[in-house]
Every structure is written in structure tokens, then in C-alpha cells.
Structure 1
Amino acid sequence: MSDRFFVVTGGPGSGKTTLIDALAALGFRHMPEAGRAIIRDQRRIGGNALPWGDRAAFAELMLAWEMRSWSEALAHPGPVIFDRGVPDVIGYLDLCGLPVPEHVARAAKIFRYARTVFVAPPWREIFTGDAERTQDFAEAEATHAAMLRTYAALGYEPVPLPFATVNARAAAVAEHIASQFASATPGDSRSDHRDAFRRP
């Protein structure tokens, strides 16, 4: 487990990626979302591992992406923000009514993140679709519910983001992470990264 890896999850169109971009502007390292990149690549090669095609194959590609992101983040000091995590793959399978393979469940136990998980709730006022985000608002709400169930079942503590400006959301997340690092004690794995957290 890495208690310096913080996941932002939620349904599509909830401001999740916009928030992570704002946190990146504040100096936080971050790992990008799998879904959009996979969809772009599958379209480029004419593949069918897509949310509207072979959903199980799409989930496997997401799992590989998230495990690789987790491993790559180990090389970065200080807190790292993840645009979704390994548990999102389980949430996606749950949403689709597909079984969760044993290796996916095992991955969620091995590739752990900080207990606090930031969840962007469905927000109709900012919800928009595009070529890669084809879900409607009802699907966004269902995705949000699936992610809440999944993370809670895996022992995480979902914390809802406020319905606020992106800057206010970023400040709330940064403050929460800073408080966790400030409370680290000698011997706590977080204490080794407090200096890296202090940005100019």
C-alpha cells in the first residue's frame, strides 16, 4: 500500500479531470485517466476493446494501465494524484453487470492507495458529453454509485468533493493531503516525503 497515492474518482462529467489539472498546476504530480486514452487508441487501430464493444477487454486494458501507473508513481517522491485507480476497474465491471475475475480482485488488494479517496459527485450543471464520453447523466449517476460501493467495500473512505469552483475543490484536496503529511510521525512512511510536499 502507498498512503501517499491519492485517487480522485466518480462518474463521467463530474469535474474530476479538471480538478486534477488544477492540482497539477499547483505542483502535484499526477497520473492520467486510462479510459480516454484507451478509447482513442482503440479507435485508431480499429479495436473493439471499448465501452460500447468488448467491455471485458476494455476493463483488462484499464487494469493494465492502472497497475503500470501505480508502479511508475513509486519513483516520484511526495503525494501523487491518480485520475481513477485499480478499484475503478471493479466498479466498472459491477456497473456493466460483468463478473470480477479473480486476478482483478487480487490486483485491488495488492495495488493499494491512501485510505481517503476523493469522489466527484454527479453535477448536472457541469455535465457534458463528447466523442469519448458518450454516457448520459443517468449513467454518470450509476457510475458514481458503483465507485462508492466498490471503494467502500475495499476498505477505503470515500470523501465527496464540494459542489464548488475548481479552485475551491483543489484547495480542499490540497489542504486534506497537507494535513495528512503534517501529521506524519517518525517511522511513518509519509514522514519521508514531507519535504517533497512543501511546494514553493
Structure 2
Amino acid sequence: MKPIIITGGPGAGKTTLVKALSEFGYATFEEASRRLIAEQSRIPNGVLPWTNLPAFAKLCLALMRKQKHQALCHEIAFVDRAIPDIAAYLKIGGCSVERAFAVEGIGYHHLVFACRPEAAIYVQDEVRPHRFEEALQIHQTLVDTYAGQGYQVVDVPWGTVEERVAFIRRASGLLGR
């Protein structure tokens, strides 16, 4: 099965959801951008999205390409964001989106699970500098980008982690697997 994407605006509980899916034995892959921000922040003049978005996007593309390749080695795998997320963030930043992002953005499961930011859990931090209203705008751009690339975007209803995991497992036909 192709890798299943969990996406959505910042502060939507994606990372918690992906961690919970791993507890069912599914292969999971962390959010590449958070990892890269942490790594690049430790480097003098590191490449960060708020200082050089196009260069940061290329770093993300390389890491997410590797994650997608690794995910394809598993029967079932979930990724916390995927290559089309990069294209959406480039659009948000007013940057051009190179063809490589569209080409590399194919090859995932046709269902993309979108988690909408939730005010009750939203926290700004060094890797999430956006106000909540901006997080909602980012979410909509992500949804539009995935739909524009032919993916079927499924809204994950807000609820407990257990309810959200059950929803994704049901919607993707994974109950009992």
C-alpha cells in the first residue's frame, strides 16, 4: 500500500496522531520540517524556512523523498506531512513551486487525512511561529494543494486521539490490520 499522509495546519494534533498510529504497529515517519528546523537551528547560518524558504524547501524535498522511499518498503505506513505540503508552504510564502515538487508529490495513497488546527491545543513555539488564524489559512492552502494534485482529502474530525485513530483506520480500510 502506498504511504498514507496525515496533513493539516499547525496545531492540529498530527504528530500525536501519527505516534498513536505507530502503537498499532504501523510504520510511521516524523514530520521532516520540524526535524530539519531543529537540526538547522543548531548550525550557524542554518537554512530555515523564515530566512530562506526555497532552500529549506529543497532540504525538505530530499528528506521527504527518502521517507517516501522508506515508507514504500512497509505494507502500511503513515507520514506526518508529505511532499505536497512543501508546495503549499512555498505558495503561502509567495515563492515559485518548481516542477520537481509536483513530480515527487505523486505516489502516495489516494486518501489524504487532513487535521484542522484546534484552538484548544494550539501553541506557538520556535518551530510554530504562526498565529492561530494563520494556521487556519495554512490548513486551507494545504487542503487545496492536495485536492489540486488529485488526492481525495478526508477531514479528520476533532476528538480524542483514540477516536481519531479509529476514524483513520476505518476510512482507510485498516481495521483488523
TM-score (norm 1): 0.83
Q: Whole-Å Cα distance in 2 between the matches of residues 124 and 118 of structure 1?
A: 19
* Aligned residues of 2:9 and 2:116 also touching (Cα < 8 A): yes
Deviation digits for residues 44-91 of structure 1, max 9, x if unmatched? 112342121101111111111110001112222x21001011111111
- The residue matched to 2:120 in structure 1 has which SS? helix
Deviation digits for residues 127-167 of structure 1, max 9, x if unmatched? 11222221111221111011111100000010011111111
Counterparts in 2 of 1:17-96, with a 5 A limit?
17-76=15-74, 78-96=75-93
Pick the structure with greater CA Rg: 1
Counterparts in 2 of 1:174-193, with a 5 A limit?
174-177=169-172, 179=173
Letter in 2 for 1:68: K
| Partner of residue 98, structure 1 | 95
* Aligned residues of 2:84 and 2:146 also touching (Cα < 8 A): yes
| Partner of residue 108, structure 2 | 113
Letter in 2 for 1:133: R
TM-score (norm 2): 0.94
Backbone CA RMSD of aligned residues? 1.5
Q: Whole-Å Cα distance in 2 between the matches of residues 47 and 150 of structure 1?
A: 30
- The residue matched to 2:154 in structure 1 has which SS? strand
Letter in 2 for 1:57: A
Shift of 1:34: 0.7
Q: Whole-Å Cα distance in 1 between the matches of residues 61 and 68 of structure 2?
A: 11
Shift of 1:23: 0.8
Shift of 1:174: 1.4
Q: Whole-Å Cα distance in 1 between the matches of residues 104 and 108 of structure 2?
A: 12
Q: Whole-Å Cα distance in 2 between the matches of residues 4 and 117 of structure 1?
A: 11
Q: Whole-Å Cα distance in 1 between the matches of residues 45 and 32 of structure 2?
A: 16
- The residue matched to 1:126 in structure 2 has which SS? coil
Instruction: Please say if 1:145 is aligned against 2:143.
Output: no
Letter in 1 for 2:156: L
- The residue matched to 2:57 in structure 1 has which SS? helix
5+ residue gaps, structure 1, are 183-196
Instruction: Please say if 1:8 is aligned against 2:38.
Output: no
Higher helix share: 1
* Aligned residues of 1:5 and 1:82 also touching (Cα < 8 A): yes
5+ residue gaps, structure 2, are none
Q: Whole-Å Cα distance in 2 between the matches of residues 26 and 162 of structure 1?
A: 20
Percent same amino acid at aligned positions? 36
Deviation digits for residues 89-132 of structure 1, max 9, x if unmatched? 111111111111122222224xx111110000121111112222
